[in-house]
Structure formats: structure tokens, C-alpha cells
Amino acid sequence: SPLSSKVQETPAEDDNLIVVGVAQVGSESVWRSAHTQSIQDAFTRANGYMLIFDNARQKQANQIKAIRSFISQQVDYIVLSPIEESGWDTVLQEAKDAGIPVILIDRKVSVDDDSLYASWVGSDFVREGQDAGYWLEDYMKKQGREDDEVNIVVLKGTKGASATIGRTRGFNEVAKVQRNWNILQQVDGEFTTAKGKEEMARLLDQYEDIDVVVSQNDDMTFGALEAIREAGKTAGVNGDITVISFDAVDAGVELVRNGEINIDVQCNPDQGKYVEQIIQDMEAGKEIEKAYYVPERVYTQENVGEEENVTEGISG
């Protein structure tokens, strides 16, 4: 039939392409767009790949569906950035049974059997949260305000996501040993500008005396800054409210430079090339590590022009 002859005509080099199915979280943030770009840059035809990319629009059910479709298409590798940590045992077992290695990127999964994935590449989210906490401790000291009461609100990211869990844990670890830090509320901001603004406006309405906002990504911070302005308050260096943000996308770093954000803890989105390297290593039969951390740094007004201050390199 015309169809089968067409299949036979497929250029021979296509047979050599490594087929990679990528199950991405969504396009909830500026960071996520940069992350997607880094994946698309790594898995090009010129590099020897056929990329099948799925955007789950922040729904785990869509990611599970995408993985099942990758399995039925018999891809060579599955790359998963899991929206949340739980709920992966069944579908990852299906991938394992089909003999398809799964590499996690960005966020992690919480599964009973670690052999359900080959490796993970991403950020040390707990360390990011600690960095934010230690910075605040130091900032208060430098101003001779270490004995002042500090009223803090936290805009958290997507529920159950590694980035949310890690940043919350890391910051809270530092906060709990500070006698005069009061975490007034930790609310869900879903990593989006709209929700960040809405929640911050509500918090400003509820509390007269917020000293610090810890916003777990730049998009929520952009929204929070709008809410602060609309409430007639000022943010950042010399402002009414100290602003701690995460991601350090270009627009975030720009706000550090102009002083509206005090500190932006980087979450490095450039992860595609590391996953590509893992796949090359697996193809070559080399040993791979279970976890690789991407290099990251923090941005403050003091260091924003400098290239150093990278906090951690790739390991493994």
C-alpha cells in the first residue's frame, strides 16, 4: 500500500535518531519557558534526536497520559519533569516494564522503588530555601536589627512540587531558630503572577505590618510587587517590605539591580544539556549517577554585576 511504501522510504538516518519523549510541567512561569527552551536546544535533529514534547498544562493526569503515549510509541527515553512528587509508582513501573529508561528533570518523584527512574538533574531546592533564610538573618544583623520582630509572609509554589517542598523546608529550618521571626502566613501562589498578586493583596489587607515577603518564584514576585504598589507601600532595598525571590530570570535580576527585589536565589533552568549528556553516557554504557545538581548562585544588589558566587557545581 502507499502507506507501507512511505514508511519504507523513511530516510535511513532517521533510524539512528534517539527518540526522546519529554513530559513537561506546563508553561506556568518565565522560568519554565527557559527550561523548555533548554530541552529543545539539547534534543535537536542535528544532535541526533527526535524530540516528542508534551506540555501537561500543570495537570498530572496529562503527564501520565503523555508517558503512556510515549510507551506505546516505544520511545528510547522518557524525560519527566514531575508536577508533584507523589503518584508516579504505577506509570513509572509501566515504563520500566516496557524497558524505557526514565530521566527526571527539575523536580523529583517520591516512589517506593528508586529503580523506577535512572537519574535526576535539577536544583537543590532545600539549599535554595536555606540561602534565602541565611541571607535574611545576615541582612538583619548588618542593619543592627537582629533583635527586631520580623513579620514574614510566604507565597508558596505549586502544592506537592519539589520546588515548593524544598524551598519551604530550607527556609523554615533557618526561621525556626530565630526567636523573633514570625511567619504570619504561608499561602499557595501556584507559581503564577496572577495568584501571587491576588494572595499578596489579601495578605496586605489582613496585616498592617508585613516586613518580609518570601515569594517562591519570580512570577509570583512580579504579582506581589504590583499588589504592594497598589497598597501604597514600597518594596525592596529601603522599602517598607523586604522582598526575597527565587528563580533569577532576567526580569528578576533586573529588579535586584534596581532594588525592588532584595535577593533573588537562582534556579538554573539550563538543564537540557545535562540530560542529553546522561543519555549519551547511557548509550555508551557508562555508569551514571542517581542525582546531578546544576550550578546556581544568588543575586543581591552587592553582587549582581559579578559572575562569581556560583553556589554549587554539577556533581557525579
State the residues that interact with ligand AHR by CB under 6 A: 28-29, 31-32, 106-107, 161, 163, 191, 217, 246-247, 267
Cell readout for 28 is: 506556568
The DSSP element (H or E) to which 152 belongs, if any, is: strand 150-156
Nearest residue (CB) to ligand AHR, 107 versus 297: 107
First to last CA, the chain: 51
Least Cβ distance, residue 187 to ligand AHR (angstroms): 16
Nearest residue (CB) to ligand AHR, 106 versus 264: 106
Least Cβ distance, residue 177 to ligand AHR (angstroms): 25
Which among 305, 291, 241, 253 is positioned nearest to 125, based on CA atoms? 291
Least Cβ distance, residue 182 to ligand AHR (angstroms): 25
Nearest residue (CB) to ligand AHR, 140 versus 213: 213
Nearest residue (CB) to ligand AHR, 76 versus 296: 296
Separation CA 221–CA 216 (nearest Å) = 8
Say if residues 126 and 84 touch (Cβ distance below 8 Å).
no
Least Cβ distance, residue 290 to ligand AHR (angstroms): 19
Nearest residue (CB) to ligand AHR, 24 versus 151: 24
Least Cβ distance, residue 218 to ligand AHR (angstroms): 7
Least Cβ distance, residue 55 to ligand AHR (angstroms): 13
Phi, psi of 303 (to 5 degrees): -115, 5
Separation CA 269–CA 42 (nearest Å) = 13
Nearest residue (CB) to ligand AHR, 151 versus 221: 221
DSSP 70-109: HHHTT-SEEEE--SSSSS-HHHHHHHHHTT--EEEESS--
User: In the chain, which residue ranges form alpha helices assigned H by DSSP?
Assistant: 2-8, 30-42, 60-72, 89-97, 125-142, 162-175, 193-206, 218-230, 250-257, 272-283
Least Cβ distance, residue 10 to ligand AHR (angstroms): 37
Nearest residue (CB) to ligand AHR, 157 versus 236: 157
Q: Indicate the residue type of 171.
A: F
Which among 160, 192, 166, 193 is positioned nearest to 63, based on CA atoms? 160
Nearest residue (CB) to ligand AHR, 168 versus 217: 217
Q: Report the SS3 class of residue 189.
A: coil
Which among 230, 309, 228 is positioned nearest to 266, based on CA atoms? 309
Least Cβ distance, residue 283 to ligand AHR (angstroms): 27
